[in-house]
Amino acid sequence: MRPPCDPSKFIAEAVKSIPPSGIRRFFDLVSGLEDIISLGVGEPDFITPWHIREMCIHSLEKGQTSYTSNSGLPELRDELTRTYYRRYGLDYNPASEVLITTGVSEALDIAIRAVVNPGDEVIVVQPSYVAYVPSVILAGGKPVIVSTHREDDFSLTAETLKPAITSKTKAIVLNFPNNPTGAIMEQEGMEDIADLVVENDLFVISDEVYECLTYGGKHVPFSSLEGMKDRTVMLNGFSKAYAMTGLRLGFAMGAPDIIHSMMMIHQYSMLCAPITAQIGAIEALRNGKVEMERMVREYDRRRHFIVKGFNSIGLECFNPKGAFYAFPYIGDTGLSSSDFAERLLNEKRVVTIPGDVFGEAGEGFLRCAYAASLDDLRKAIEGMGDFVDGLKR
């Protein structure tokens, strides 16, 4: 009789070392609960605009279900380069400087794997999206955390960044507009960061998926700064701006050597992004501006409402200028972020995400997505106000 086997011994050490997603852990708590109001989900509450869905449906009816080029449909890459030239004056070659990926998550993963060698240090600015640190670890790199603070509106400063740079630093991961804080970077501050990048010969992985959700100003791509185009791979996608989360489509733009290296990983792990999503994305870029701007205006209306609401119930909240998240401070309540969020869920049926999920710098805060109706936001604020009043009593 053959002996039994313990499959766990075959699991790679790198996988064992990464923590489970704190967001997923919290959604497991929500699973099965009824009559909840969710400020937890980081995706638009809008349906993908009809003209985009119609184009996807029409492509299926025509039988367009084949593979595409590893790099993505040429028409989509052409449209992306025209869009970025029109918006920002950025001139990318669609044949060699653009890669279409299966969501921005894949773009992030292969960008890090393309540039990080075992032992390289990669600076991750927190609070930040939960995938950054695990992606660096799985690539064999060492994540080095740099924290932003509410005193700076969670914007990164050169003074904060500089002490974290060593002779082993290879790259820095930036995410502005930011998930979970909603913070943005002003160009003056970005220029200071760019100076450090050049002085220390660093590479920048810039996740700009919330680019179009910038309020009261214009987004500035990091690669548009002087000397940064060849030092930056810009990641973006269609999930947030065009409400296309389930279609899983992202892209990367960067120097030919970087994009080619990413494509080498992509061709073996993913082959190509789904053709139906790519066809929908072409339609989004060509004819989706009106619907996209309508959604952004509604997010902006909700942003003003939720920030005012948090401040009115005694939860200090800075004014986020990007994405669709508010990041209220709950540290004065005496509860940790996790305890506050779990009790709020159990007692008031309001779902938020504890700030510490996004790094230690997020402790004392909650991520609250205002990708919800004004009626739901109103009910959530009322419930949270009652909860805070109860803590005071």
What is the residue extent of each domain of the chain? 8-48+289-392, 50-288
- Rounded CA-CA distance 346/340 in Å is 10
Please state, rounded to an integer, the average pLDDT across all residues of the chain.
Answer: 96
Residue reference for tokens 């960008």: 111
Closest Cα to residue 71, out of 247, 261, 229?
A: 261
Residue reference for tokens 């050169």: 158
Q: What region, left, alpha or beta, does residue 73 occupy, with left being phi > 0 and alpha being psi -120 to 50 degrees?
A: beta
User: 23-42: per-residue pLDDT in tens?
Assistant: 877 777 777 778 899 999 88
Closest Cα to residue 110, out of 329, 283, 258?
A: 258
According to the model, what pLDDT value does residue 27 have?
76
According to the model, what pLDDT value does residue 24 have?
78
Residue reference for tokens 């609960």: 33
Answer CATH for 50-288 from 3.40.190.10, 1.10.730.10, 3.10.20.30, 3.40.640.10: 3.40.640.10
Q: For residue 270, with 0-12 CB atoms within 10 Å meaning exposed, 13-18 middle and 19 or more buried, which class applies?
A: middle
197 CB contacts (<8 Å, ≥6 apart)?
172, 203, 204, 228, 231
Q: What region, left, alpha or beta, does residue 235 occupy, with left being phi > 0 and alpha being psi -120 to 50 degrees?
A: beta
The mean pLDDT of 342-360, rounded to a whole number, is 96
User: 160-172: per-residue pLDDT in tens?
Assistant: 999 999 999 999 9
At 393, the pLDDT band (50, 70, 90 cuts) reads confident
According to the model, what pLDDT value does residue 34 have?
80
393 CB contacts (<8 Å, ≥6 apart)?
none
At 20, the pLDDT band (50, 70, 90 cuts) reads confident
**148 and 127 Cβ atoms separated by less than 8 Å:** yes
User: 229-269: per-residue pLDDT in tens?
Assistant: 999 999 999 999 999 999 999 999 999 999 999 999 999 99
Quote the tokens at residue 89: 């004056």
According to the model, what pLDDT value does residue 33 have?
77
According to the model, what pLDDT value does residue 246 have?
96
**296 and 213 Cβ atoms separated by less than 8 Å:** yes
At 46, the pLDDT band (50, 70, 90 cuts) reads very high
Answer CATH for 8-48+289-392 from 1.20.950.20, 3.40.630.10, 3.90.1150.10, 3.40.50.2300: 3.90.1150.10
253: β partners: 98, 234
Q: What region, left, alpha or beta, does residue 291 occupy, with left being phi > 0 and alpha being psi -120 to 50 degrees?
A: alpha
The mean pLDDT of 66-83, rounded to a whole number, is 98
**83 and 94 Cβ atoms separated by less than 8 Å:** no
Q: What region, left, alpha or beta, does residue 63 occupy, with left being phi > 0 and alpha being psi -120 to 50 degrees?
A: left
User: 262-294: per-residue pLDDT in tens?
Assistant: 999 999 999 999 999 999 999 999 999 999 999
According to the model, what pLDDT value does residue 258 have?
98
Closest Cα to residue 321, out of 221, 218, 241?
A: 218
- Rounded CA-CA distance 104/224 in Å is 20
User: In the predicted model, is pLDDT for residue 19 greater than 90?
Assistant: no
- Rounded CA-CA distance 250/238 in Å is 6
According to the model, what pLDDT value does residue 217 have?
87
188 CB contacts (<8 Å, ≥6 apart)?
none
The mean pLDDT of 331-353, rounded to a whole number, is 96
Q: Are strands 250-253 and 98-101 parallel, antiparallel or unpaired?
A: antiparallel
User: In the predicted model, is pLDDT for residue 72 greater than 90?
Assistant: yes
Rg (CA), the chain: 21
The mean pLDDT of 339-362, rounded to a whole number, is 96
User: 95-136: per-residue pLDDT in tens?
Assistant: 999 999 999 999 999 999 999 999 999 999 999 999 999 999
Quote the tokens at residue 124: 């991750």
Residue reference for tokens 């998240």: 325
